[in-house]
Amino acid sequence: MMNDLAMASGMGDPLVPWIFEIVLPLIWLGIAAFHFSRTRRSGVLSLSALLFLGGTTMWWQEWYADWGAYLLFNYNFVQIPWGPTAWTAPSKPWAVIPSYGWYFGIVFALLVMLAERVKKARPSWSSLRATAVVVIPIFYLWDLAVEGSSAALGWFSYTNILGPALMTARGNFPLVWPILYFVFFAVMVVWLFVQKDVAGIWLHERLFGVHRMASGAKREFARFLVWSLTMNIMFWFVYNLPTCLLRVAFGGPSTLVP
């Protein structure tokens, strides 16, 4: 069955697969080593470290996002041992796991810092307005660059297109859906992470009482868990569940992403 789907996808062999399966995981390791060294010196996980680690833990949701958007990864990549399950795309490359760390860790850290600067520069603006002004153009271009180039290399392809799209010989990338909804998700995440109380404590950390813990490794591990849980909840309920439900309600059948 999987071999038949691979042949039917029309993607063929991916270009420069070693970048996806070797170079990008090595980049993840380099970023992880940097954050480990930095945290060891300071004793505190930085914003960028929390976003990098939290982003990595969201990898398991990729296959649901792919199913909702009819996205199919190239079968020529080494697959993780996760068989066919409901609402998941059939191709599940292992290299997606580290990709989540650098993809979300880099862009979310940049966007949160920029949104905070805009808030300070424009005190009359709401935090949502300041966030949207920063996130919408930057995240759209970031995702277009990363995913668009990946599709052109034949790493994956959107198999059911709605609206205009970047069409290449090896893969397709839509320019409207689901990327615009993905941008909305990014706005919501960044907006949440610029919310701090008067004491400078993130609201989700206060909600779980992390701020009351004594400084040290236990507190930082708790912060990692809280940020990871928050990011996973946001990704599931703001982006993945709605897109999957929309496909169930309005999407047609698919041979490649059944």
- Provide the 3-class DSSP secondary structure of residue 251: coil
Q: Which two tokens stand for residue 128?
A: 């949502």
Whether the per-residue pLDDT at 142 is higher than 60: the answer is yes
pLDDT at 235: 98
Q: pLDDT band for 173, please (50, 70, 90 cuts).
A: very high
172 strand-pairing partners: 167
List the alpha helices (DSSP H) in the chain: 2-9, 17-18, 24-42, 47-57, 62-69, 96-121, 127-152, 179-193, 203-207, 217-234, 241-250
> Is the pLDDT reported for residue 4 higher than 70?
no
List beta partners, residue 72: 157
With 0-12 / 13-18 / 19 or more C-beta atoms within 10 angstroms meaning exposed / middle / buried, residue 135 is: buried
- Predicted confidence band at 5 (pLDDT cuts at 50, 70, 90)? low
**What would the pLDDT profile of 54-94 be if each residue is shown by its tens digit?**
999 999 999 999 999 999 999 999 999 999 999 999 999 99
Give the C-alpha separation, 64 to 129, whole Å: 30
Measure the CA angle with vertex 107, ends 228 and 105; round to 5°.
35
Q: Which residues contact 10 (CB under 8 A, 6 or more apart)?
A: 157
Residue-by-residue DSSP string for 5-74: HHHHH---SPSSHHIIIIIHHHHHHHHHHHHHHHHHHHSS--HHHHHHHHHHHGGGGHHHHHHHHTEEE-
Average pLDDT of span 13-34? 98
User: Do residues 161 and 148 make contact, with C-beta atoms less than 8 angstroms apart?
Assistant: no
SS3 at position 196: strand
* DSSP class per residue in 18-36: HIIIIIHHHHHHHHHHHHH
- 87-122 confidence digits (pLDDT tens): 999 999 999 999 999 999 999 999 999 999 999 999
pLDDT in tens, 204-226: 999 999 999 999 999 999 999 99
Phi, psi of 165, deg, nearest 5: -155, 160
Question: Taking all residues of the chain, what is their mean pLDDT, rounded to a whole number?
Answer: 95
For residue 10, what pLDDT is reported? 73
Tokens of 130: 């300041």
Work out the angle at residue 215's Cα, subtended by the Cα atoms of residues 211 and 217, and round it to the nearest 5 degrees: 110
Q: What is the pLDDT of residue 11?
A: 87
pLDDT of 108 reads 98
Q: Which residues 6+ apart lie within 8 Å of 23 measured at CB? A: none
